[in-house]
């Protein structure tokens, strides 16, 4: 989805027809998904052993709610997650294990990863609030490889806090520590709830349209709580 598509979509506040995308763009995304790395290969190729160890530790503790798996199964069709990421990204460390865990629970989902800096044309079409190359970004592709939506770089409540004046005034190491604490306490609930809800919106779209992300505004500065 080109940036002009996204801007037009946001101005309408809704979907545009996915079939209006250029065939070359659709083919490119499907090709890139097939050439991208599965999760284990991505970790094996990492140059950040400490972050890989942390990811593996998180992954061994992941538990996906059966209700979320049932909701994905009810969609009755396959979906692909194409992630734009980087092995040095701390948010990716906290997010990728949960998406992999969800995919492991159902044959309807698959996930592969691309290095953001090797695919700048893709990240530049998926800028956070139209400005930032923030990662990870999750492209949601249907079974034909058509992009139907995208998510990232963090759960919405956390992203709103990170953008707040209070968070930006913190020293980077303090903001990092608070973000890590939030991810640990949330235990993947916000990540998976938002991803599954987005899949449901894609499946319900009557014309196979593209669902543009809603802009995120900064919060008042308090770190958000967690859904039970």
| CATH number of the domain bearing residue 98 | 3.40.30.10
Instruction: Give residue 179's pLDDT.
Output: 95
Q: Tell me if 62 is assigned to some domain.
A: yes
- Domain housing 122: 3-154+189-211
Instruction: Give residue 90's pLDDT.
Output: 94
Q: Tell me if 174 is assigned to some domain.
A: no
Six-digit token string for 215? 């802009």
SS (H, E, C) 199-222: HHHHHHCCCCEEECCCCCCCCCCC
Q: What is the pTM of this model?
A: 0.85
Six-digit token string for 27? 């083919």
Q: Tell me if 223 is assigned to some domain.
A: no
Instruction: Write down the residue that tokens 């900064």 correspond to.
Output: 218
Q: Tell me if 193 is assigned to some domain.
A: yes
Q: Tell me if 177 is assigned to some domain.
A: no
Which pairs with CB-CB distance under 8 Å and at least 24 residues apart come from 19-23? 19/207, 19/208, 21/146, 21/147, 21/210
Total domains in the chain come to 1
C-alpha span between 148 and 188 (Å, rounded): 23
Question: Cα 221 to chain center, whole Å?
Answer: 23
Tens digit of each residue's pLDDT (9 = 90 or more) over 15-57? 333 444 444 445 589 899 999 999 999 999 999 999 999 999 9
Q: Do 108 and 80 touch, CB atoms closer than 8 A?
A: no
Q: Tell me if 171 is assigned to some domain.
A: no
């Amino acid at each position: 989805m080109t940036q002009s598509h996204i801007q037009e979509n946001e101005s309408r506040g809704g979907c545009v027809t996915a079939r209006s995308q250029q065939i070359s763009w659709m083919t490119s995304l499907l090709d890139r998904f097939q050439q991208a790395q599965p999760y284990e290969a991505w970790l094996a190729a990492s140059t950040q052993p400490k972050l890989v160890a942390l990811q593996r530790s998180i992954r061994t503790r992941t538990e996906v709610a059966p209700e979320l798996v049932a909701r994905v199964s009810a969609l009755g069709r396959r979906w692909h997650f194409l992630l734009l990421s980087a092995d040095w990204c701390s948010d990716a460390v906290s997010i990728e294990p949960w998406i992999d865990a969800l995919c492991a629970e159902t044959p309807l989902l698959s996930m592969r990863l691309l290095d953001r800096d090797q695919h700048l044309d893709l990240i530049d079409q998926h800028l956070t609030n139209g400005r930032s190359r923030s990662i990870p970004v999750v492209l949601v592709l249907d079974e034909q490889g058509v992009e139907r939506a995208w998510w990232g770089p963090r759960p919405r409540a956390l992203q709103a806090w990170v953008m707040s004046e209070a968070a930006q005034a913190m020293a980077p190491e303090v903001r990092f520590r608070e973000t890590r604490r939030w991810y640990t306490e949330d235990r993947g609930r916000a990540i998976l709830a938002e991803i599954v809800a987005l899949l449901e919106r894609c499946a319900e779209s009557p014309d196979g349209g593209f669902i543009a992300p809603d802009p995120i505004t900064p919060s008042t500065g308090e770190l958000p709580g967690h859904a039970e």
